[in-house]
Amino acid sequence: MKKEEYTDVQKADLKNFTKDELSDYLGSLGLASYRADQVFQWLYQKGAASFEEMTNLSKDLRAQLSEIATIKKAVEYNRQESKDGTIKFLFQLDDLNSYKVEAVLIPDFFDDGEANRLTVCVSSQVGCMFGCSFCATGKMGYFRNLTHGEIVDQVQAINELCEERFGKKITNIVYMGMGEPLHNYKAVVESARIISDPLSLELSPRRITISTVGLTKQIKKLADEDLGTKLAISLHAANDEKRNTIMPINESLNLEKLEEAVKIYFKKTEQPVTYEYLLFDEFNDTPDDARKLAKIARWVPSKVNIIMYNNVSGVTLKRAREERLDLFMRELISHNVTATVRQSRGDDIDAGCGQLAIREGSERGKSMAG
Ligand code: SF4
């Protein structure tokens, strides 16, 4: 290990602190509380990567902070643009293993070409341990959780691009990139708090959606956070038998347990939930599946997103055919379910639902350099 790397390990990483912890830390150095706000703003609004950039702090203070603390930052490493406007980013994390994660910008445009919704799909973990059979990330295995700072870094970098290219800030965030967000609970919740903070990006929590495969304990805990974000459940099958075959988590946390957690969540937050349902050909796309899904959709007020899957190489499940989608939707609507069909975007750059994974060579999730 090189000397400067060893030294950095000893320094406090300011982006590993929550807002309160940052305030306590700087307070312990004898700094007034407004200084903590200034540093927070530099980190999360202006994206500072060094203390040198913090020009409203005195030169002495900047030098003092550089001695004892560090600022880790995930930086853009690569970018791919789809013909449909979707942009996939590869971020290099600041660690000794050279881990990388992907995030996706999904822009929607008005007829006159002006940007409407600018949705960012962020990653919360390097890889994932839940092994859903349709998901490229699951095939990578799990490497580590992201810090809340690394989650915000993805959003901040993409927000800068949106301001430059579209003249407006991002409008929505979905935690649906690599990893299971509620398996990295603390960092995900803190990152959502930071993203909605007035001294950061000030995005309304209502425009932030946290998704989960159904970690019931964490769903119940989330209900007590008073976070104001939206909850999406990655359902993808409407009975235990089918769900067990594509989502191993269902074997221990089945639909009955999920129902209990979702009902508690709704009782406490009074917020409807969204069910994400990838439609797979001749697997979960029959009218009977639709009737079972309609029953789940009635657990609490909800809406259902039917997502047309982009096929992933090595996965036997395939995108459902249009005629089967049609019958499925008719059945859902006849049961008064609020349902929308979403085309998974960015298929030509492997940016769609279930397609994110770090691939060969220098783009591997864990480089051999570590
Ligand atoms: S779908 Fe989500 S939880 Fe399942 S393997 Fe992929 S990233 Fe993990």
The CA-atom distances, in angstroms, between 161 and each of 87, 88, 164, 182, 314 are 11, 12, 5, 28, 33
Instruction: CATH number of the domain at 10, please.
Output: 1.10.150.530
More confident residue, 270 or 313: 270
In a domain, residue 150? The reply is yes
Both 160 and 30 in one domain: the answer is: no
Both 63 and 163 in one domain: the answer is: no
Choose the final residue of a domain: 43, 70, 97. 70
**Which single residue is written with the structure tokens 């398996």?**
183
Question: How many domains does one find in the chain?
Answer: 2
Give Cβ neighbours of residue 35 (< 8 Å, ≥ 6 apart): 26, 57, 61
In a domain, residue 350? The reply is yes
In a domain, residue 241? The reply is yes
In a domain, residue 307? The reply is yes
| pLDDT tens sequence across 217-234 | 999 999 999 999 999 999
What is the pLDDT at residue 158? 97
Q: Which two tokens stand for residue 32?
A: 């007034």
| pLDDT tens sequence across 60-90 | 999 999 999 999 999 999 999 999 999 999 9
Both 63 and 92 in one domain: the answer is: no
Give the Cβ contact number of residue 298 at 10 Å. Answer: 12
Length of the chain: 370
Both 145 and 13 in one domain: the answer is: no
Ligand 1 atom at shortest distance from the alpha carbon of 125: 7
Give the Cβ contact number of residue 265 at 10 Å. Answer: 22
Ligand 1 atom at shortest distance from the alpha carbon of 177: 7
Alpha helix ranges (H) inside the chain: 3-10, 19-28, 33-44, 59-68, 136-140, 148-166, 185-195, 216-223, 240-246, 249-252, 255-269, 287-297, 322-334
Give the structural domain span for 236: 75-363
Both 161 and 109 in one domain: the answer is: yes
Cβ contact 76:90 at 8 Å: yes
**Atom 4 of ligand 1, residue of closest alpha carbon:** 132
What is the pLDDT at residue 189? 98
Both 81 and 58 in one domain: the answer is: no
Instruction: Grade residue 155 by pLDDT with cuts at 50, 70 and 90.
Output: very high
Pocket test for ligand 1, best of 101, 121, 132 (most atoms within 8 A of CB): 132
Both 236 and 109 in one domain: the answer is: yes
In a domain, residue 247? The reply is yes
256 is catalytic: no
Both 122 and 45 in one domain: the answer is: no
The pocket around ligand 1, CB under 6 angstroms, is made up of 128, 130-132, 135, 137-138, 178-180, 213, 234
Average pLDDT over residues 116-128: 96
Instruction: Grade residue 367 by pLDDT with cuts at 50, 70 and 90.
Output: very low
Pocket test for ligand 1, best of 128, 218, 233 (most atoms within 8 A of CB): 128
In a domain, residue 370? The reply is no
Pocket test for ligand 1, best of 130, 174, 249 (most atoms within 8 A of CB): 130
Both 292 and 150 in one domain: the answer is: yes
Mean pLDDT taken over the chain = 91
Instruction: CATH number of the domain at 346, please.
Output: 3.20.20.70
Both 190 and 260 in one domain: the answer is: yes
What is the pLDDT at residue 96? 85
Q: Which two tokens stand for residue 98?
A: 């050279």
Distance (angstroms) between ligand 1 centre and the Cα of 132 equals: 5
251 is catalytic: no
In a domain, residue 369? The reply is no
Instruction: Grade residue 147 by pLDDT with cuts at 50, 70 and 90.
Output: very high
The CA-atom distances, in angstroms, between 366 and each of 96, 97, 136, 369 are 10, 6, 15, 8
Both 11 and 158 in one domain: the answer is: no
Cβ contact 284:239 at 8 Å: no
Sign of CA dihedral 110, 82, 348, 351: negative
HSE at residue 67, side-chain half, CA atoms within 13 A, is 7
Choose the final residue of a domain: 20, 47, 70. 70
Ligand 1 atom at shortest distance from the alpha carbon of 138: 5
**Atom 7 of ligand 1, residue of closest alpha carbon:** 179
Point out the catalytic residue in the list 52, 102, 128, 322: 102
Choose the final residue of a domain: 54, 70, 86. 70
**What 8-state DSSP symbol labels residue 178?**
S
Give the Cα separation of 36 and 22 in Å (integer): 7
Q: Given a cut of 60, is residue 369 above it in pLDDT?
A: no
Both 208 and 294 in one domain: the answer is: yes
Give the Cα separation of 218 and 76 in Å (integer): 31
Distance (angstroms) between ligand 1 centre and the Cα of 58 equals: 46
Instruction: Grade residue 131 by pLDDT with cuts at 50, 70 and 90.
Output: very high
343 beta partners: 308
| pLDDT tens sequence across 242-276 | 999 999 999 999 999 999 999 999 999 999 999 99
In a domain, residue 303? The reply is yes
Is the pTM here over 0.85, yes or no? Answer: yes
